[in-house]
Amino acid sequence: MKTNNFKIKALGLALTAAMGLSTQVCADIKIGVAGPHTGANATYGDQLWRGASQAAEDINAKGGINGEKIVLVKGDDACEPKQAIAVANRLVDSDKVSAVIGHFCSSSSIPATEIYEEAGVISITPGSTNPKLTDRGYSTVFRICGRDDQQGIVAGNYIVDVLKGTKVAIIHDKDTYGQGVAQATRDQLHARGVQEVIFEGLTRGEKDFNSLVSKIGASGADVVYFGGLHSEAGPLVRQMREQGLKAKFVSDDGIVTDELVTTAGGAQYTDGVLMSFVVDPRGLPQGQEVVKHFRDKGYEPEGYTLFSYAALQTLAAAYKATGGTDNEKAGAWIKSHPVDTVMGSKEWDEKGDLKTSPYVMYRWDASGKYKQI
Amino acid sequence: MDALFLQQMVNGLTLGSVYGLIAIGYTMVYGIIGMINFAHGEVYMISAYLSAITLALLAFFGLHSFPLLILGTLIITVAITCAYGWVIERVAYKPLRNSTRLAPLISAIGISLILQNYVQLTQGARQQGIPTLLEGAARLDFAGGFVQITYTKIFILLASFIGMGLLTYIIKCTRLGRMCRATQQDRKMASILGINTDRVISYVFVIGAAMAALAGVLITMNYGTFDFYAGFIIGIKAFTAAVLGGIGSLPGAMLGGLILGIAEAQFSSVINSDYKDVFSFALLVVILIFRPQGLLGRPKVTKV
């Protein structure tokens, strides 16, 4: 009896010792989720956070990465370059993240990735489409979305081939992303032999674009292309309709949110708005289970939610395959292996861009929803 | 004179009249205590939220006719915004009345941050919006083109001019207005003559908040969308308008607002909207070089 008791005690001691040891060895893998969690574009930050949290939950439930759990750290850049640098420094220096999902706005991603590159931290952006991001020869920068030049080609071709636009007014929001995609569209229009009648910027944060709208009206434009985000696209399209302009309104993947209807003041204004966006990942067979999971929780995984989910899956796959969090090996692995994600199989080129980027056109309808054309 | 020019005048006038309404708050506060109330843009932002909430509440209680709806919204929004203006003055500026000139300025920036974050936390960071209240537009065919003015814009022009007219009447012809003017001219003398200057200063903040609330209701009606950061840009523009017209001068603020609105509209029409703001601020610099006191401001007399 006594020996038995002793044995049990010894076993217990050994177990606690082993457990204590294991918690010391298995430190969690910290991954930052950086984006606009506050500010006018907080809705996108929310999408990134929800996508990444769900992915972390699912991966952890299946045993994590090599037995280690993923812990997410939120980084709020409010879509402001200055704040993005501060957040990037914080994530690298004090949170000591292994990798970052984000940022969202190109104007934030470009400066922030300089810090990640220096620290050897992998960053995968679910939404920054500006070409410059991956054109600088950085080895740690990836994106799981398209590039503005690809987007501009699709939008430009659509304007010429389907809308038969001859007088195109191009408006942008003077931001890295908006102006970049507007320029890419303009280049494609030039290549197809169409000259724009107006190429001008508006100020982000303002609500009154009436004078610009009058000018577009006077130019006789039959198509208006807007490069920018929904917070300006909504008021712009509303003021166009209020002044009696019937020109088609085409925009980019910065307006992919139901808030477009809110900012325009009703679906009667956004009816017929066209936009370029990648094939909606919610419709792909690989993601059905995850999409159902989101919907069961009462959340519709719109916009960039699944992009963020897929970004974390990619990181997890790379860390698993290379057996640790060595970012040099993981980065090289991502560039040489296809990864199965909720958005299908993805492959990356040497720059960190996706090898194929399927941009297609969408149309908003009178009930305030968008559908692929 | 062609259709585009006229359309831009309409655009500029509607924009300028709301700049003017907000500029009144800056100019009156500066006139009376020589301080720039940087939280004023946030007061406008608060009123935008209040107007949307009131609209929703009134519609919920079955009020659907436009005149009643807008009147109810105006009264409730103005009343609550005035309370905000009064409290802000009491909490942030009154205790600092006799300290250095810099102290209330810093306090104003603090209040502005507090209000922004308070609204963001309680109302969320998402863009908010209201449905269109007044549909339809007047169309004027004219010289090969047309000028289209929505009924909302006509309403804005009317309401803001009535608001400015009413305020001018109050300042010029009533006892309260006389007390304000006396306090503006010489606070110490006014208090010796039996005017409760502390209370007058509170009134001025309340009047400024009322005008900002009027602008908040009108802008929310017109653009239908706002967020917690909406007060920043329009606050800076209205402040520019106040300086342009001569800070401290009431008609100056209104004139400054109109000039700024029209200048922005015409410049972006004729030249390029990229440089619209550059042009507005360049205009401000030029006017201040030749008339440092602003268009209608009184030059400062050195008292001996």
- Position A84 scores a pLDDT of 95
Query: Does A82 have pLDDT greater than 80?
Result: yes
Whether CATH 3.30.450.40 fits A28-145+283-346: no
N-term to C-term CA, chain A: 78
Residues in B touching A201 (Cβ below 8 Å): 273-274
For residues A33-44, average pLDDT: 87
Residue B43, token pair as written in the block: 């007061």
Per-residue pLDDT at A275 exceeds 90:
yes
Kindly report the backbone phi and psi dihedral angles of residue B294, in degrees, each rounded to the nearest multiple of 5, phi listed first: 85, 175
**Can you give the pTM of this predicted structure?**
0.81
Domain assignments of chain A as residue spans, ordered by start? 28-145+283-346, 149-272
DSSP state of A1: -
Write down the pLDDT at residue A8. Answer: 53
Q: Looking at the partner chain, which of A39, A206, A238 has a beta carbon nearest the beta carbon of B125?
A: A39
Tell me if B273 and A200 make a contact (CB, 8 A cut-off).
yes
What pLDDT, on the 0 to 100 scale, is given for residue B277?
Answer: 87
Would the CB atoms of A211 and B274 count as touching at under 8 Å?
Answer: no
d(CA B4, CA A192): 30
Q: What mean pLDDT is predicted for residues A137-142?
A: 92
Distance CA A109, CA A154 (A): 24
At residue A25, the 3 state secondary structure works out as: helix
pLDDT band at A6 (very low <50, low <70, confident <90, very high): low
pLDDT for the residue A5:
54
The token pair at B215 is 């602008």
* Residue A23 confidence (pLDDT): 42
pLDDT per residue, tens digit, chain B (304 aa), is 588 898 999 999 999 999 999 999 999 999 888 889 999 999 999 999 999 999 999 988 888 888 899 999 999 999 999 999 999 999 999 999 888 888 999 999 999 999 999 998 898 777 888 888 888 888 888 767 788 899 999 999 999 999 999 999 999 999 999 999 999 988 899 999 999 999 999 999 999 999 999 999 999 999 989 988 889 989 999 999 999 999 989 999 999 999 999 999 999 888 888 888 899 889 989 998 999 889 998 876 655 5
So what's the pLDDT on residue B156?
93
Distance from CA of A215 to the nearest CA of B (A): 6
Cα–Cα distances (Å) from B95 to A81, B35, B88, B107, B205, in that order, read: 37, 14, 11, 10, 15
Chain B CA closest to residue A261: B129
pLDDT, tens digit, for every residue of B128-153? 888 888 888 888 887 677 888 999 99
Any bridge partners for residue B138, and if so which?
Answer: B149
Cβ of B11 within 8 Å of Cβ of A242? The answer is: no
Instruction: Measure the CA–CA gap between B227 and B235, rounded to whole angstroms.
Output: 14
Structural contact between residues A121 and A97, judged by C-beta atoms closer than 8 angstroms: yes
What pLDDT does residue A20 have? 44
Higher pLDDT: A9 or A200? It is A200
Confidence of residue A10 (pLDDT cuts 50, 70, 90): low
For residue A7, pLDDT beyond 90: no
Nearest CA in chain B to A258: B127
A122 bridge partner residues: A99
3-state secondary structure chain B: CCHHHHHHHHHHHHHHHHHHHHHHHHHHHHHHHCCCCCCHHHHHHHHHHHHHHHHHHHHHCCCCCHHHHHHHHHHHHHHHHHHHHHHHHHHHHHHHCCCCCHHHHHHHHHHHHHHHHHHHHHHCCCCEECCCCCCCEEEEEECCEEEEEEHHHHHHHHHHHHHHHHHHHHHHHCHHHHHHHHHHHCHHHHHHCCCCHHHHHHHHHHHHHHHHHHHHHHHHHHHCEECCCHHHHHHHHHHHHHHHHCCCCHHHHHHHHHHHHHHHHHHHHHCCHHHHHHHHHHHHHHHHHHCCCCCCCCCCCCCC
Burial of A100-111, coded b for 16+ CB within 10 Å and e otherwise, reads bbbbbbbbbbbb
Q: Give the pLDDT mean for A84-91.
A: 95
Res A107: pLDDT: 92
Q: What pLDDT was estimated at residue B301?
A: 63
Amino acid at A247: A
pLDDT at residue number B304: 56
Q: Quick one: A149-272 is in which CATH superfamily? A: Response regulator (3.40.50.2300)
* Domains in chain B with CATH codes: 3-290 (1.10.3470)
- What's the confidence (pLDDT) of residue B34? 87
A186 interfaces chain B, CB cutoff of 8 Å: no
Per cent of chain A over pLDDT 70 is: 93
* pLDDT score of B103: 92
Query: Per the CB < 8 Å rule, is A212 touching B273?
Result: yes
